[in-house]
């Protein structure tokens, strides 16, 4: 993103790059401290890679009702909401499917090992196998179910972190976790200028598009990043619940703007899974989106600007183009 360097700090969070930016550079440290606290709370509650996290304890206790803290309770409830809204395209019960593909450790660790051994794909049990009792503060997983809250928890954390930082700093705040970002409070003049690409770690020279945001959230889902080698070929972290394997999509990257980072993430992930019908779906929901095809062309829907995009427009997509107009 592009902003005053004195009003921005980069941190490590959730195994990726976090950015905290403020409209008042004198309040940056206060905002960053608030964000760090939220990151710690979500990591202790929702990490699949910490044996002492609440999620790991829950996954090891399938079949039992487990009392959990408010962060995991909310994160799981929001993940189930995502499943309902997308008819199961975004499903939190993909834990065993990811493990079967070799994603049984942090992504950083995965990059330093040889091709991961893989066996048969693991079926995705389905989100209805999860019971949340908010009054009792418990979650119960059916036997054989393992949750991976993944991107929805990260997006929820971005929303919560931006709100906490705004409350603490008293100014406009942008928080980005791995390119999924939330904005709370007044934006700088002209808005927050954000670079949208396949990979948030890419420099400004990578093909992409600059956009300006005033409020809400932005999320990008991609099959071009978080990939690893397996004995059966490359895999990535976006799971097709119908097969248990890495989704094979016509889109390599989808970016969506919504009222919150969480809602943007739900839509961008579901769009990857849905493939071509995602254009009409996002248009019907009036969610601005930029969908990059495997051929490197970009489709802009529901008010997402086409000007300034480095990628050629998807003028030959026929029904896709007509659905977006």
2: which strand partners?
A: 193
Answering whether pTM is above 0.85, one says yes
Class assignment of domain 5-323? alpha beta
The alpha carbon of residue 72 and the mean position of all alpha carbons in its chain are separated, in whole angstroms, by 17
Phi and psi torsions of 152, nearest 5°: -65, -40
Q: How far is CA 73 from CA 204, 234, 238, 299, in A?
A: 38, 34, 23, 37
- Cite the DSSP H helix spans in the chain: 28-46, 54-59, 70-85, 95-100, 107-110, 150-169, 261-274, 278-285, 319-323
- Token digits of residue 203: 């420099």
Phi and psi torsions of 228, nearest 5°: -145, 160
Q: Round to whole Å and give the CA distance between 323 and 284.
A: 9
Q: How far is CA 112 from CA 55, 115, 119, 283, in A?
A: 25, 10, 20, 41
**Contact predicate 164/34, CB 8 Å:** yes
pLDDT category of residue 168 using cuts at 50, 70 and 90: very high
Q: 180, 172, 183: which is closest to 196 by C-alpha?
A: 180
55-59 mean pLDDT:
97
pLDDT category of residue 234 using cuts at 50, 70 and 90: confident
pLDDT tens by residue, 246-296 = 899 999 999 999 999 999 999 999 999 999 999 999 999 999 999 999 999
Say which residue, 92 or 1, is predicted with more confidence: 92
27-48 mean pLDDT:
97
**Contact predicate 239/97, CB 8 Å:** yes
- In this prediction, residue 319 carries a pLDDT of 43
235-243 mean pLDDT:
88
pLDDT higher than 70, residue 321 = no
């Amino acid at each position: 993103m592009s902003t005053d360097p004195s009003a921005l700090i980069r941190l490590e969070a959730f195994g990726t790059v976090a950015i905290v930016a403020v409209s008042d550079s004198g309040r940056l440290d206060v905002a960053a401290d608030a964000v760090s606290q939220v990151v710690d709370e979500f990591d202790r509650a929702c990490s699949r890679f910490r044996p002492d996290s609440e999620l790991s304890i829950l996954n090891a206790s399938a079949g039992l009702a487990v009392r959990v803290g408010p962060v995991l309770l909310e994160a799981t409830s929001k993940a189930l909401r995502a499943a309902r809204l997308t008819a199961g395209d975004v499903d939190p019960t993909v834990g065993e499917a990811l493990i079967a593909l070799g994603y049984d450790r942090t992504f950083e660790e995965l990059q330093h090992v040889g091709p991961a051994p893989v066996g048969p794909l693991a079926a995705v049990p389905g989100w209805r196998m999860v019971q949340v009792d908010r009054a009792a503060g418990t979650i119960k997983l059916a036997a054989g179910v393992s949750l991976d809250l993944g991107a929805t928890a990260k997006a929820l954390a971005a929303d919560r972190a931006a709100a906490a930082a705004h409350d603490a700093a008293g100014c406009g705040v942008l928080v980005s976790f791995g390119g999924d970002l939330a904005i709370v409070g007044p934006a700088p003049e002209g808005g927050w200028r954000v670079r949208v690409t396949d990979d948030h770690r890419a420099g400004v020279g990578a093909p992409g598009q600059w956009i300006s945001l005033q409020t809400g959230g932005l999320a990008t889902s991609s099959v071009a990043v978080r990939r690893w080698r397996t004995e059966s070929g490359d895999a990535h972290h976006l799971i097709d619940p119908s097969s248990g394997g890495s989704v094979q999509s016509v889109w390599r990257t989808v970016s969506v703007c919504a009222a919150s980072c969480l809602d943007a993430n739900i839509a961008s992930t579901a769009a990857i899974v849905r493939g071509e019908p995602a254009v009409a779906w996002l248009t019907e929901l009036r969610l601005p989106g930029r969908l990059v095809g495997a051929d490197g062309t970009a489709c802009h829907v529901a008010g997402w600007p086409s000007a300034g995009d480095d990628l050629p427009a998807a003028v030959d997509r026929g029904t896709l183009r007509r659905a977006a107009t």
